[in-house]
Amino acid sequence: MRTSKWREPIFALLFLVLAALLIGILSLAFRPIRVDYGAVWGPYLAEPKDSLDYLYLGSSYAYCDVDPVEIYDKTGLTGYVLAGPEQTLSQTYWYLREAFKTQKPSLVVLEGSALAFQQYQSYTQVNVGYMPAGLNQLGAIFTASEPELRTGLLFPLYFYHSRWKELTVSEAADALLLSETDSLKGFTPVSGVFEQISDGPFTRDPQSEEIYEENLTWLSKIADLCEKHGIPLALVFHPTYSQLPADTRERIAADAAELGISFFDWTEESQSMGITPTLHYYDPGHLNQEGAAIFSAWLGSFLIDELGLSPRTQTAENTSAWKWAVQDRHMVPD
């Protein structure tokens, strides 16, 4: 009698567990693999634990402008660009919480364009959907994502089930395998030059007071999180031809100082860094690959000379991997 009484609930529970497992596997198999243009969590999590000297977060300005391999070649500093397309500050907060589970960098650098973003931008599905499943992703779903996207973020198969027509067995298998480190380290090189760049610089409109204050609240949360982990935070504006007004940047400098955040405004410093606008801008906001190499070399020296970073001890295996990445980056195609 006892066996009969509990058999149906046990089978029902087992069915639910198996169904959830199957949905999870199918969700991973159907979701496109992502290794560039931000939100590259797989390769990041494959980095050896506590091996990174710095973490770089922010929007596409970060992952198009900052080449960690170029910085390593010039300084020996190891780093990763854990940015995302139009990554909002609320998303950045949850990114950092998740990132600190495997890395304790000596510095976090935050590219600050998100201070001029709306509450929600255009790439929530990517930025939040590719986070590792867990409490931090749930936090991002319910505090940094549009309500209408939450069903698909909680159950990714809702977004990607239609891919069954194009999905190959090989692609599905690759999606289910654990990711490996890659030689980009979160960087995405882009090629080409914006033809009208000589007409710039171009002015970006700041957000309303309400939205700015909300963004400032999330910036404060990020600063508190870094302080809790004993990691300095630097807020930066990259050299760009898509510029916030000078008075807006001055206000941001004052607000950052009040929060105890180091702030560096390089908006108008492109030429002093060796960046030629007519050669090195992919568009008004982003550097092309050649411009990124120049900026990254300059940035490496800044991290060493101005912020006092020094390379941490690495395993022989990881040193070899970074040196290989440098060789791969500088390899001239036939």
36-62 per-residue burial string, b: 16 or more CB within 10 A, e: under 16? ebbbbbbbbbebeeebbbbbbbbbbbb
Q: What is the pLDDT of residues 57-98, one digit of tens each?
A: 999 999 999 999 999 999 999 999 999 999 999 999 999 999
Q: Where do the H-state alpha helices sit in the chain?
A: 2-30, 41-45, 60-65, 68-75, 89-99, 124-129, 135-143, 150-154, 157-160, 169-176, 209-228, 246-258, 277-280, 289-305, 316-329
Separation between Cα atoms, residue 333 and residue 291, nearest integer Å = 20
- Tens of pLDDT, residues 143-152: 999 999 999 9
CA atoms within 13 A on the CB side of 41: 20
Rounded Cα distance, 267 and 189, in Å: 20
Distance CA 240, CA 269 (A): 8
Q: Is 326 exposed, middle or buried (0-12, 13-18, 19+ CB in 10 A)?
A: middle
Considering only CA atoms, which of 207, 205, 198 is closest in space to residue 284? 198
Q: What is the pTM of this model?
A: 0.90
Best CA proximity match to 231, nearest among 47, 54, 44: 54
Contacts of 206 (CB under 8 A, 6+ apart): 116, 212, 244, 245, 248
Which of 35, 126, 41 is closest to 88 using CA atoms? 126
CA 138 remoteness from chain centre: 18
pLDDT tens digits, residue range 210-257?
999 999 999 999 999 999 999 999 999 999 999 999 999 999 999 999
For residues 104 and 42, what is the distance between their CA atoms, to the nearest angstrom?
18
Which residues make Cβ contacts (< 8 Å) with residue 178, sequence separation at least 6?
A: 42, 46
Q: Whats the size of the chain, residue-wise?
A: 334
Per-residue model confidence as pLDDT tens for the chain (334 residues): 455 677 777 767 776 677 666 666 666 666 787 888 999 999 999 999 999 999 999 999 999 999 999 999 999 999 999 999 999 999 999 999 999 999 999 999 999 999 999 999 999 999 999 999 999 999 999 999 999 999 999 998 767 767 767 777 677 566 666 677 888 999 999 999 999 999 989 999 998 999 999 999 999 999 999 999 999 999 999 999 999 999 999 999 999 999 999 999 999 999 999 999 999 999 999 999 999 999 999 999 999 999 999 999 999 999 999 999 999 887 755 4
E strand or H helix at 111 = strand 107-111
CB neighbours of residue 142 within 10 Å: 12
The three-state secondary structure class of 187 is: coil
Nearest to 198 by CA among 276, 292, 86: 276
